Each structure stands twice: as C-alpha cells, then as structure tokens.
Chain A
Amino acid sequence: MTDFITYVIQGIPFGCVFALVAVGLVLTYKTSGVFNLAFGAQAFVAASLYYVLHVRHGWPTLLAFALVVLVISPLLGLLLDVLIFRHLRTASPIAKLVSSLGLLVAVPEIVTILVLGESSTFGVVGIWWNDNALYRFSDYVIDGKEMAIIVSTLLVVLLLGLLFRFAPIGLRMRAVVESPRMTELAGVNADRVSAFSWMLSSLLAGLAGVLLAPLYASLAPQNFTTLLIAAIAAAAFARLTSIPMALVGGLLLGIIQALLSGYLPPASVIAQSVKPTLPFAALFLLLLFWPGLRSAIQNKDPLSGVDPPPDPSVAVTRGRFLTNATRVSGVVVGTGVLLWLLTAATTYWIGIATTAVVLSIVFLSITVITGMAGQVSLCQATFAGVGAFSTAQIVKVLGLSVLPTLLLGAAVAAVVGALLAVPMLRLGGIFLSLGTLAFAVMFDTLLAPLGWVSGGAHPVSVPRPIGFVDDRPFLILCVVVLAIVSVFVIFIRRGTTGRYLTALRGSETAARSIGINPTRIRILAFAVSAGIAGLGGGILAVQKGVAVKEDFGYFYGLFFVVLVVTLMPSTVEGAINAGVGFALVPEVLKLVGVSSSWQFVLFGLGAITYARHPEGVLEFQKGKSLAAIQKRLPARLRGPVPGPTPVPTGGAD
C-alpha cells in the first residue's frame, strides 16, 4: 500500500504536465472549434523566445516571462486567428485539423532556423524562483520546476472554470464555436470573440512552453510534439469539452504511468512494450471505447454546410485546346526528362528521380483515402513501413524473390489497414485522424524497434530484383509500377467504388438510401490505400537496399499529408506532383543557398490553405493561370465557360 501511494504521488507532477497540455487542447477546441495540433508548436515558439531572452540575453526571469507569455503568445494567437482560423470558422473540423497540422510542421522549423540557430540550447531555466529548490511532502519531494507546473495547472483550471461559468465572454466563446453566424445574428461580434479565444489559448500554449522547457536538457521541437500527442489522450478523456476532466485525464495518465513503472518488472517484455506505449494506447482505446466521445465532436452549427461547393477541377473545365496543349507539353517534358535520366543524368539525379517516383506511389495512397474517401489518415507512412518491413523480412526469412514479395508486403499492409479501419471508421472526422496518429506513434514506439519487425539494431537488407540492380533499370521499373498503380487508382475512381465514395462524401444518408454500405466501401478504401502505401514503402526499401524504421516515422506521416493536400489531394497528378516536390524542392532550396529545412515551412504553410482550397493550392493556382491564358486565347480555341459541378470533390487525372 505504501508503494502504491508513493507511485501515485510520483505520478502527479508529470500528470500535471499532461494535464496542462490537455487543458490547452480542450480550451482551443472549446473556444475555436479547432483541434489545434499546432499547440505544441506554439509552446515551442514561447519556450524558444523565453530561452533566447532569458538565457542568451540575460533578461530577468519575470520580464522575459511577461513579454513571452503575456504579450508575444497572445499576439501570436491573434495573428493565427486573423490570418488563418477566422476564415475557417464554418469549415469542416477536418479542414481545420489539416491547417493546424500545417502549422505543426512549419512553425518549429521557422523558429529553429530564425530564432535558435545552430547553437546549443542547454540550460533552460524555469520561472520558479529556484528550479532546484526542494519541497518535501512526507517521503516525497517536489522541485521548483514541478511546483511551478502543478501550481500553474491548478490555477489555469480554476481560472478557466470561472471564466466559462461566470463571465459573459465565456458563454460567447462557446456560442461562436457552436454557430458563428447564429451568434452574429444575436448581435455578438464573432470576430472579436474569436480573437479573444485564440489569444487566450495561445497564452496557455506559451505558458505551457515556458513551464515545460526546463524539463529537458535542451530545446527540441520533437519533445513538445511527443508531449502533445501523449496529452491528446487526456483531452480525449475530457471529450474535448471539459477542462476539469482534462485535468483528471492528465493526472490519471501520469499516475498510471508511474504505477506501471512501479509494478511492472523493469526489464520484462511487458514493461518494454506497455510502458512506452501507454499514452498512445490510451488515446487509441479512448477513441474507440470512450462513451459519448463521438457525440461531442459533431458539428452542431445549423448553418454549417451552406457554403457553395469548391470550384471544379481545372482539368474538367479547361477547353479542348488547352487540355491537348497541356497533355502534349506534359508528354514532351516527361519524355525529355526520362530520356535525360536514362542517358545522361548522374547517379544522384537518377536517385532523386527514383525517390520522386517511389514516393508518388506512396502518395497515391493519400489520393485514395483523402482525395476519394475524404478521410485524413495520419499513418500512411506507417503503412509504407509495414510494407517495407514485411517485404524485407519475407525476403530474408523465406528467401522469396523481391518482385512478388513486394506484392505480399503490400497485401500485409492492406490487411493491417483493413483491420485498423474497422474500429476507426466508427469515429470518422478528426477522431479518425487522431486515431491513425495514435496508431502511427504506437507502431513507432512498440513495434518498429522489435527485431522481428524492423531488424532492431540491425536493419534488414533488401536486394534489388535481378535485372534491376543498376539504377537506370530500377528507375524504369519504378516508373512502370507507378503507371500501373496510377491506372489502378483511376479505375477505382471511375468504377463503382469511386462513385460510391463520391456519393458517401456528398451525403451518407442519401448513399445509404440507394443501398450503399458505407462501412464496407470505406474499409475497402482504407485497405486499398494502405496496400498502395505498403507497396511504395517496399519499393523505397528496395531502392535504399535496407528497410530502416526512421524512414517511416510518424512525422513522415504528418508531412506526407501536408505535402499532398498542399498540392492536389484528389488527383493522380497531385500525387505525382507531391512526389516530385518532395524530391526536388530540397534541391531547389540548395541551389538558391537556403537550408532544405525550409521545405517544411513551405509545405506546412501551404497546408494551412487546405480549408479554403481543398483542391490544393497548386490546383488553385493552376486554375487561375489557365483561366488567364484561356482569356487571351482566340474565341475558337477557348473551351466552354466553366460552371458549377455536381461533384465538388472530384478530380480528373
């Protein structure tokens, strides 16, 4: 019993860490309707600025704290609201999630490049008068930085509770989230309320950043992202609505972790598996089984969905002349590039081209799941990893030849995708995305380190198929596979499955009424998508000669989505553009003498526009350019005037 109490007490400080982040997530969701994956990034901004002011420039603690947390953080929130989220109020939760995902990818890179630089960031100091002061409570001791976190968390929960219960602004904030247009009809200035909400939640992110930074030896965005994902479990426990429950959820998470650490034999297989996975497994299970969670996430705005559908695809609306011209120039350029690659290019450029082609295959999986099925999966890189590891292990253990094994690897990924889809699809929307993110992190933490999965410390080699050992034949093989998969995806889109998916995106109720089984169709889409990703992952491993777990980490899953939605999520062309972008943009940045890290900034910021341009920024810009060209064409060469399309999400290939 004494041990039990000791472990419980030991879990409280870190439970408060989870709680603080979870409260921030709940506050943002409650007051803006955005599941703000960028909360960790905002916290990192504040931590970095506080570090630079306090440690590098020697500002007094209180002054640095006040400027960063009370001034800069709210201003950042205001900026995010005015520039991004104010315009997304009536957008779908998933569109808002993708926008925050873009920020999660872009903001830490901007801060690292522009604020922290390459110097080390040791010696982060907390806000307590003495971080290392010790406070003894019976047998247990709490230090200054933990005391600061505990006190701040409790104060935040108390103040927010009072705000929402007694202050008129609290009621208005909730009303604006529920229906901004209805609220404005009641005479409330929704813009002002929204701005206050974002400033408040950003202030909390800033506070979290400054409080959590001293827990680590140095500042790294990864620390904040990992904490954020772990804390989502506590936010889910609170159904994204209850701040006190977020506190309870965070504390429970910290305490259960401490109990597991205490009672499980430290070197046992169970401890190795369960302990590191706990927050992510908890999130996964909560998403699946926590009663009422789903009802808490439905959009209740009676005026939602009244926006006009997005413009139709450029490929649909441009005239015949432009279509032919585009196709001919595409074939000419493509053939030219291929000829150059096959005759004159160096190994380096062949490698880049091969990577572009292989990743295009992986990105086609996002075309299926996001572009066609309308679901945002954040574990496509994990499916690619499943395909890669399966291929590598089957070749190694059974000695099968590589080419057929790639298909087996894809099949394994497809099965995993289908199995994941069965429970996940009950959730839909942002919770499906969060569930896939939890799965990706669980895979990274639990399965990927295992010898029988990835080879552990000794990654498994994958030979190239006979006849394709050299780089050029291998590139040709990859191009052929991409062509086959592209045609396969186009067939799916044009076939029954694609039409069913389109119908489901239009109206699930209507689709059901004509006999479409949404679950079956979506599971099929998930499995096909996972299979394609697995095939791409397998080929990537073959290209590199080894299946390495770092190539398929969860962050790649996030970045892949950001990349594809920035370009064209719904078309095969978009997937190929994304593949080329992934491979070429770093080279372009190098050419202009800029760090390749800016690619994360570029694509991250691009993803922010997803809500306004679900067809992709590139598609949007292409549309504008083609419209301008079309205007200048003689009348006989112009196509028909574009009109509204009955299929808002469709794309042409």
Chain B
Amino acid sequence: MSLALVAAACGNASSSPGKANKQNDGKNATVDQPGVTKDTISVGGVASITNALNAPYGDIFKGVKAYFAMVNSTGGIYGRKLEVVTPRDDGMVNNLKEVQGMLSEDNVFAAVGLATIFNFNGAAALSTAGIPSFGWNLNEEWTGKSNLFGNSGALCLGCDGVELPWMAKQLHKTTIGVLAYNVADSKACAEGVRKSFDKFKTAQVGFYTDSLTFGTPDFSVEVGKMKQAGVDFITTCMDTNGVLAIAKEARKQNLDAIQYVPNGYDQSFMKVNGQFFEGSIVRVPFVPFETRPVPAGVAEYLKWMKQQRVTPNEYTTYGWINAAMLLEGLKGAGPNFTQKKVVDALNKLKNDTAGGLLDGIDWTTQHVEKRTPEACAAFVKVVNSKFVPAFVPKGKPFLCFKRDQGVNVPPTYK
C-alpha cells in the first residue's frame, strides 16, 4: 500500500548534473544484448497504472519518456535512440506476472519505470535475470538486490532518525502527535518516529495512534485528543486522504499545530488544499523544483517536462531519475555495453545524483545498508499554498545529518 513512507534518503558527497547526452564515441558498436539494435535501445517498465487509490503512478513513464526525448534530441547514446516499448500495468498486484512478461516477451535491455504500490514480488525475478532495473523504491523488496536501483538506497521504515527531532527543535515545537493506519508499513513508520523522539528528546510524543482505519475521513476524536494533549507538531504516516482530513479537522477544532507530511510533495494537491497546510513541512525525496537558483538538473527536467507537455509531479520525477540512472550506467559501461556492465558501472558509483536530482547514492553500500552514516533529505514549507525550501540556504537543497551526532550539532548542506 502506498502509504506515506518515511524513507531515509541517505547519501554521500556531492552531485554532478547530467546534461543532455551526446556520447556517440563508438557509435553503433556491435552490441548483442536484449532490446538493443543498431539504432535503438528498448526498455520496459511495470507500474500500478490502474490502482484502487486512483493515483497517477503511471506518470512515471512520462518522466522516463521525457528524459529519453532529451537524450534522443542530441542523437541518443552510442548512436542509438532510447525508447520505452512496453509500459506494463501492475494492476491488482500482478507485478510478478508483468515482470515475467517484460523479461520474456518484450525484448528489453532494462526495466526503467518500476512503481508498484503493493508488494513488489517481481523484484526477485528482476534480480535473477540480472537486468538493470530502475524505479520508485517504496517496497522493502528493493533491498539487497544489486541490479535494482531505486530513487533511494535500502529502506528502513522502522528506524530512528535525527531529522524530525531536529526539525521540532528548530520550529520550537514541544509536543508531537503521531498518527498511522492499522497497516504494517504505516505502523512501522510511526514506530520509527516514536523511536526518533525517544532517542533525541527535543519534544515529547503527546499523542500516538497506529490504529486508524485506512480510508476513514473522520479524525474528529483524534484531533480532539491532540488538542487536549497540547500537540503542536503532527507527523503522519498516511496517504493524502488522511493528511488532508486531519488538516481540515485540526482547522475545525482550532488545533494550533502544523503537520510534517512525508509523502505530500504534489503541487496540484497543495494548490487546492494549501489553506489547510499553511506552515506545514513536506519531505521531498529529490531536489525540490522550488530550489533557487534552479539547479541545472532541475532546470533541464522542468524544461523537458514542459516541452513534452507533461505536468511535473513526484512520479514523473522518479521516471526522470530512473532514466538518468540508466544513462549513467550506459556511459559507465562504454560503447560495448552489456546489461552486466551497466549494473557493474552503477555499482561503482559512490555519488549517484541521477542527473543532479538526488543528494547522491553510494551504490557500493546502499543496496543493503539501511542506516548510512549520513542521512540527507530536502524539505519544503507550505506558504500561501505553495512550496518554499525550508531549513536550507539558497542553492543548497539538502539538509544532511551525521546519523548519531545528535540534534545539537548543526547539519550540513548539500
């Protein structure tokens, strides 16, 4: 289930923006690989295009296609154009079947654009096949598979972190409300938040529940209790339905608290609902579009989204990131590239920024390492129904913490 995941976006070192590519050295070298012809490199992908939440997860392919359009506009790579041949629909937890279909029927070089909101049981098939695979990492099945490259390293839903306690301190918040659904991922996330405040005592958890019914829009009692407890900072591990219902109820009951929303970076959502989130903090797993000056990678992304007439959102961004990683792998593998060489090349990267949109993933460790020494993330604040970067100086989108340094040591910026 696609609940708000407090995924630790961890990474190292600095980023290097990936410009549109014109790497045609060794043009059209003979490559005997699936999905590779003299002129094209074909990729496939599997996403929950149709889903019970009616969310646009299939937009991930729009991001992939936009990136490919950018690369192809300058001649492609090694004389070959990149193309998405089969965007497959995970539908109702069919990703194993669709992954098998992609592997055996579609003749693709890589899987680019994987976004499966429920259990990603196709991950094992991808791992066995050894095919370079790129997607939105929101399932623990991504962990430990060396040919699977997500937008973040290994997830740890129940781990503590220093970000939230530090943030509470910065915002002078003293009492935390933690809300989660009675669903495994959501509960694990809430447990992580509680552990964080147990470890770094900048505020106390005044209200905690992980027994909410998924799909309920009624939080009147919970908000009433938070008001009684004096909660001034609400953290949720929930979907947009949940966070919006809580925000509306808080406003109704005049609860003077802001929310920390780990999964709400959606401009179209905030445009119509921003009035309920004024002052709230939203976690962004990549460089926020609002970063000023606009980093080269983001500028390129926004330019090509506009050129492709696609409204950028979280999912299109993951698609762009996935495609950028493929290109990095291809570049690293050289003109006589193979699937294995691409995977090996990526696994040597210690600072994969996916074209300048990520803080940098160290693929030598982060396929398996859930608790990296340093954790980075970007945050934005809701101001007048728009996002503005928070807690960082101009031009530095990411806030980085040494894992065990505590909240009194200032973070670094990246």
Q: Does B278 contact A (CB under 8 A)?
A: no
Smallest CB separation, B131 vs chain A (Å): 13
Chain A residue contacts of B248, Cβ below 8 A: 132, 143
B119 within 8 A of A: yes
Q: Considering the chains assembled together, what is the distance between the CA atoms of A132 and B252 in angstroms?
A: 8
Bound CA–CA A7/B211 (angstroms) = 17
Known contacts A112-B54, A218-B54, A544-B121; is-contact A226 B215 (Cβ 8 Å)? yes
Identify which of B184, B209, B245 contacts A266 (C-beta below 8 A).
Answer: B209
Interface string of B257-273 (1 = CB under 8 A from A): 00000000010110111
What's the nearest-Cβ distance from chain A to residue B238, in Å? 11
For window 201-250 of B, CB contacts with A under 8 Å fall at 207-215, 217-218, 220-222, 224-225, 239-241, 243-245, 248
From B52, B93, B184, A456 is in contact (CB under 8 Å) with: B184
A595 touches B50 (CB 8 A): yes
Q: Smallest CB–CB gap between B349 and chain A, Å?
A: 29
Contacting pair A347 B240 (CB below 8 A): no
Give Cα A216 to B218, complex, Å. 10
Interface residue A251 (Cβ < 8 Å from any Cβ of B): no
B211 and A449 form a contact (CB under 8 A): no
**Cα–Cα, bound, A271→B220 (Å):** 16
B56 touches A118 (CB 8 A): yes
Chain B residues near A352: list those with CB within 8 A: 97
- Chain A hits for B59, CB < 8 A: 118
A258 adjacent to chain B (CB < 8 Å):
yes
A100-135 interface code vs B (CB 8 A; 1 in, 0 out): 000000000000100010111111000000001010
For residue A546, CB closer than 8 A to chain B, the reply is yes
For chain A, residues 10 to 25, give those with C-beta under 8 angstroms from any C-beta of chain B: 10-11, 13-14, 17
User: In the complex the two chains form, what is the Cα distance from A267 to B272 in whole Å?
Assistant: 32
Q: For chain B residues 283-336, which have a beta carbon within 8 Å of chain A?
A: none
Contact of B244 among A217, A226, A272, A458 (CB under 8 A): A217
A220, B93: Cβ atoms under 8 Å? no
Contact flag A134-B252 (CB < 8 Å), given A346-B104, A545-B124, A596-B89: yes
**Interface residue? A223 (CB, 8 A):** yes
CB-CB < 8 A to A220: which residues of B?
52-54
- Chain A residues contacting B101 (CB-CB under 8 Å) are 348
Task: Chain B residues near A184: list those with CB within 8 A.
Answer: none
> What does the 1/0 interface line of B35-58 toward A look like (CB < 8 Å)?
000000000000001101111101
Q: CB within 8 Å of A: which of B101-120?
A: 101, 103-105, 118-119
Contact partners of A544 in chain B: CB under 8 A: 96, 121
Main SS of the interface on chain A? helix
- B54, B118, B208, B252: which contacts A550 (Cβ < 8 A)? B118
Binary per-residue interface labels of chain B (133-149) against chain A in the complex, 1 for a CB within 8 Å, 0 otherwise: 00000001000000000
B191 to chain A minimum Cβ distance, whole angstroms, is 10
A267 touches B210 (CB 8 A): yes
A326 at the binding interface (Cβ < 8 Å): no
Residues of chain A within 8 A (CB-CB) of B53 are 218, 220, 222
Minimal beta-carbon separation of B80 from chain A (angstroms): 25
Contact between chains at A141 and B188 (CB < 8 Å): no
A439-482 CB mask vs B (1 if < 8 Å, else 0) is 00000010001010000111100000000000000000000000
In the complex, what residues of B have CB within 8 A of residue A119's CB? Answer: 56
The docked-state distance in angstroms from the alpha carbon of A445 to that of B52 is 16
Q: Does B281 contact A (CB under 8 A)?
A: no
Q: How many Å lie between the Cα of A548 and that of B94 in the bound state?
A: 11
Measured between C-beta atoms, what is the minimum distance from A453 to chain B in Å? Answer: 11
Residues of B within 8 A of A134 (CB): 252
Q: Give min CB distance, A288 to chain B, whole Å.
A: 22
Q: Which residues of B contact A217 (CB under 8 A)?
A: 239-241, 243-245, 269, 273
B350 at the interface (CB under 8 A from A): no
Interface hub of A119, A222, A257, A449 (most chain B Cβ within 10 A): A449
In the complex, which of the residues B59, B182, B269, B271 has the most CB atoms of chain A within 10 Å of its own CB atom? Answer: B182
B30 within 8 A of A: no
B119 with A546: CB separation less than 8 A: yes
A-side interface residues, number (CB < 8 Å): 70
Answer whether A6 and B182 are a contact pair too, CB < 8 Å, given A118-B56, A221-B54: no
Chain A neighbourhood of B241, CB < 8 A: 216-218, 223
Q: CB < 8 Å: which of A143, A449, A556 contacts B182?
A: A449
A272 to B184, CA, bound (A): 11
A458 touches B140 (CB 8 A): yes
A79 and B157 alpha carbons, distance in the complex (Å):
49
CB distance from B152 to the nearest CB of A (A): 17
Q: Which of A268, A348, A459 contacts B119 (CB 8 A)?
A: A459
Q: Which of A14, A262, A451, A457 contacts B218 (CB 8 A)?
A: A14
Q: Is the CB of B252 within 8 A of A219?
A: no
Residue of B nearest to A583 (CB): B97
Q: Determine whether the beta carbon of B93 is less than 8 Å from that of A551.
A: yes
Instruction: Answer whether residue B185 sits at the interface, using C-beta atoms and an 8 A cutoff.
Output: yes
Q: Does A517 contact B (CB under 8 A)?
A: no
Which residues in A have their C-beta under 8 angstroms from that of B208?
Answer: 266-267
* Cross-chain contact A267 with B273 (CB below 8 angstroms): no
Nearest CB of chain B from residue A284's CB, rounded to whole Å: 16
Give the complex CA separation of A268 and B253 in angstroms: 25
By the criterion CB–CB under 8 Å, are A14 and B220 in contact?
A: yes
Check B213 against A445 for contact (C-beta < 8 Å).
yes
A445 with B182, Cβ < 8 A, contacts A216-B241, A262-B221, A459-B119 known: yes
Report Cα–Cα, A195/B1, bound state, in Å. 41
CB neighbours (8 Å) of B218 from chain A are 13-14, 17, 254, 257
Q: Which residue of the partner chain A has the closest CB to B189? A: A457
- Contact of B244 with A267 in the complex, beta carbons under 8 Å: no
Q: B97 and A348: CB pair below 8 A?
A: yes
B269–A347 contact, CB under 8 A?
Answer: no
Which of A219, A258, A273, A351 meets B97, CB within 8 Å?
A351
Q: Which of A116, A257, A347, A458 has the most CB of B within 10 A?
A: A347
**Binary flags per residue of A212-248, CB closer than 8 Å to B gives 1, else 0:** 0001111111110010000000000000000000000
Point out which of A120, A272, A346, A550 has the most chain B C-beta atoms below 10 A from its C-beta. A120
Partner of B272, one of A116, A122, A272: A122
A10 and B157 contact, CB distance less than 8 A: no
Does B183 have its Cβ within 8 Å of any Cβ on chain A?
Answer: yes
Pair B121/A275 contact, Cβ less than 8 Å: no
Is A457 a contact partner of B140 (Cβ separation < 8 A)? yes
Which residues on the B side are within 8 Å of A597 (C-beta)? 50, 91
For the complex formed, measure the closest distance between the CB of B161 and the CB atoms of chain A, giving whole angstroms.
18
Using CB atoms, name the residue of chain B closest to A266: B209
Which residue of chain A lies nearest to B269 when distances are taken between CB atoms in the complex?
A122
Assess whether A401 is interfacial by the CB under 8 Å rule.
no
- Name the B residues within 8 Å of A7 (CB-CB): 221
Q: With A226-B215, A355-B97, A546-B119 as given contacts, are A123 and B54 in contact (CB-CB < 8 Å)?
A: no
Q: A10 is contacted by which of B118, B207, B220, B243 (Cβ under 8 Å)? A: B220
Contact A351 B221 (CB under 8 A): no
Q: Confirm or deny: A586 has a beta carbon within 8 angstroms of a beta carbon on chain B.
A: yes
Q: Contact: A596 with B50, CB < 8 Å?
A: yes
Instruction: Determine whether the beta carbon of B252 is less than 8 Å from that of A266.
Output: no
B384 at the interface (CB under 8 A from A): no
By a CB distance below 8 angstroms, the chain A residues around B188 are: 457
Known: A122-B271, A348-B101, A595-B89. 8 other contacts (CB 8 A): A7-B221, A215-B217, A215-B245, A217-B244, A348-B105, A458-B184, A546-B119, A556-B92
Interface residues of A (CB under 8 A from B): 6-7, 10-11, 13-14, 17, 112, 116, 118-123, 132, 134, 141-143, 215-223, 226, 254, 257-258, 261-262, 264, 266-268, 271-273, 275-276, 346-349, 351-352, 355, 445, 449, 451, 456-459, 544-546, 548, 550-551, 555-556, 586, 595-597
Q: Which 8 A-B pairs have the closest CB atoms?
A: A123-B272, A266-B209, A457-B184, A261-B221, A346-B104, A276-B213, A456-B184, A272-B211
Show 23 residue pairs from A and B whose CB-CB distance is below 8 angstroms, ordered by the A residue.
Answer: A10-B221, A13-B218, A120-B268, A123-B273, A132-B251, A141-B253, A216-B217, A217-B244, A218-B55, A221-B52, A223-B217, A223-B241, A267-B210, A268-B211, A275-B211, A351-B97, A449-B184, A458-B140, A548-B121, A550-B93, A550-B118, A556-B92, A596-B91
